[in-house]
Homo-oligomer: A and B are copies of this chain.
Amino acid sequence: MAHIKDALGMTDEDFGSRHEVGDEPVPAELPGGLSDTQLTPLAAMVGAENVKTDSYSRLQLAYGKTMADLIRLRKGVVENLPAAVVCPRSRDDVRALVRHCHEARLPITVFGGGTSVTRGVECMRGGISLDMRVHMRRILELNRVNQTVTVEPGIYGPALEEALNRAPQRFGAQHRYTCGHYPQSFEESTVRVWVVTRGAGQGSTYYGKIEQMVRAQHYITPAGELRTEPYPACSMGPDVDQLMIGSEGAYGILVAVTLQIFRHRPESRAYFSYIFPSWEQAVDAARETLQAEVGRPSTFRLSDPEETQVGLKHYGVEGTLLDTAMRMRGYRPGERCLLLGAADGYPTRSALVKRQVGRIARAHGAMSATGWVTRLWEKGRYADPYLRDDLHDYGVILDTLECAAPWDRVMQVWRAVRGYCKARPRTVCMSHMSHVYPQGTNLYFIFAAKMTELEDYLAFQAGILDTIRQSGAALSHHHGIGKMIAPWLPDALGPEQMELLRAIKRHLDPHNIMNPGGTLALDLPESEQRSVDDAG
């Protein structure tokens, strides 16, 4: 907060009064509802109690969590509402609903947890929003032999994790398990959104992205059901699982998924943190760590100088003896970079990985900042997003965009995005890598500025996306595309890949009822597509 206040040139006075806090009462009547003839068959299918048309229910499922959503809510801009909210009780309900909506040409958008930061849940063409969280949140099977769990997609992260951690008590299992997937949205997101957006958790460097964890899926589409088998691997043609993962509700509705799970051994987690003299040396160390075949850490979070400065303040390191020691040894604020991390697995394994990370870090000029800093980060790791609302009370936007790039493009992406943000006066731009691979990394950008108008914000954001695209990075590493990034997708994939995705769409959903209105640019008019020169 202090850094942001300084960087944005704000005074205490600016924090004196809040604006547009958005606590006006919900209007009793909202536009775009369904007629009784439309509602009756829905109620017959799932029960009247599972069809909601009141304003509160409809508004609640309207938006996700990108800054554009927050600004619109505060300004009372109500658009792209579901005409009704439907809570299916089972896959039979979903089957009936998809068949009916296909015939009635009624759009279906699925609501997993509402944590989308890409406008994934918005009902651009009205229709119904399926709320999977109400009933479809059961654990269907814990398979101890295969070490997998099969769940309904509406289960929340904490509910799943708690059941797995307590597997001996809950299922009579011999071991405790973990899902290994802890996105920042963990507390508010469901398995569904992890899968359909190709999400990643904060331990993905070891546990993998969700697309590596999925072992089998069941989707219901207008063209029938796709149900894959839990083979550990196979060689049976194109991978239908990987075609459906990331389809963001535009190809069909996920009704069950089998995920691999892992032994839960919090006691053997080995924490470490290092401070590097410069971003360049830190990036080289990250690359070497992943390429040296020493085993992968689970958490590996490397902050650039600006984020390091904020982080050290935020974690309470600034001004401590550790800080003094770092400064005395030449790790200067504004240049130094903080690496937080941990290794998981069998105790000897996690200890070995920790030692090897340390060896490589020191060879790149780093000194240990102890495991204590990482523990501090871990404690508060799900809390940061909540700060955003408070800041916006005082006219500050705080938002994020993230991408991924091969190692040989990482510095150019980082410089370009940072350069774009910093060209705007009084703008914070912090970044880190948190999902690291032998062949590259993600880059996660957090930006803040004084800004209250939606158009200003959208123009600023579009510039960042242009820059990401131009510098040769993937448009998203784990947030998906949704309707927000969709304008950039055709240019990034090229016309042939886009036509392939559209051909699949036409086959699975010929009437375009599944999350229509721009998702993955499948039905986005050419006039709304955005093209940039690609340096990649």
Contacts and interface: CB of A to CB of B under 8 A. Distances in A.
Interface stretch (A48-56, A72-80, A193-201, A378-386): A193-201
A223 to B, nearest CB: 7
B497 A293 contact: no
Contacts of A189: none
Interface in A205-257: 209, 211, 215, 221, 223-240, 242-248, 251
A122 interface: no
A199 B497 CA distance: 24
A233 B477 contact: yes
Contacts of A531: none
Interface stretch (A160-168, A314-322, A333-341, A499-507): A499-507
A424 to B, nearest CB: 27
Contact of A230 (B439, B481, B507): B439
A404 B474 contact: no
A421 interface: no
Contact of A345 (B265, B295, B355, B520): B295
B239 A245 contact: yes
Interface in A172-211: 197-200, 209, 211
A340 B352 CA distance: 25
Contacts of A345: 293-295
Contact of A147 (B260, B295, B438): B438
A437 B492 CA distance: 34
A245 B500 CA distance: 15
A234 B496 contact: no
- Copies of this chain assembled into the complex: 2
Contact of A237 (B262, B292, B501): B501
A145 B408 contact: yes
A235 B406 contact: no
Given A145-B408, A147-B291, A221-B496, 5 more contacts: A197-B235, A227-B494, A232-B437, A295-B345, A504-B507
Interface of A: 143, 145-148, 197-200, 209, 211, 215, 221, 223-240, 242-248, 251, 260, 262-263, 265, 287, 291-295, 344-346, 348-349, 352, 355-356, 404-408, 435, 437-442, 472-481, 489, 492-497, 499-501, 503-504, 506-508, 520, 536
17 contacts: A145-B287, A147-B438, A197-B235, A221-B496, A226-B496, A230-B440, A232-B441, A236-B474, A236-B492, A237-B248, A237-B489, A238-B242, A240-B500, A263-B292, A293-B346, A295-B349, A348-B355
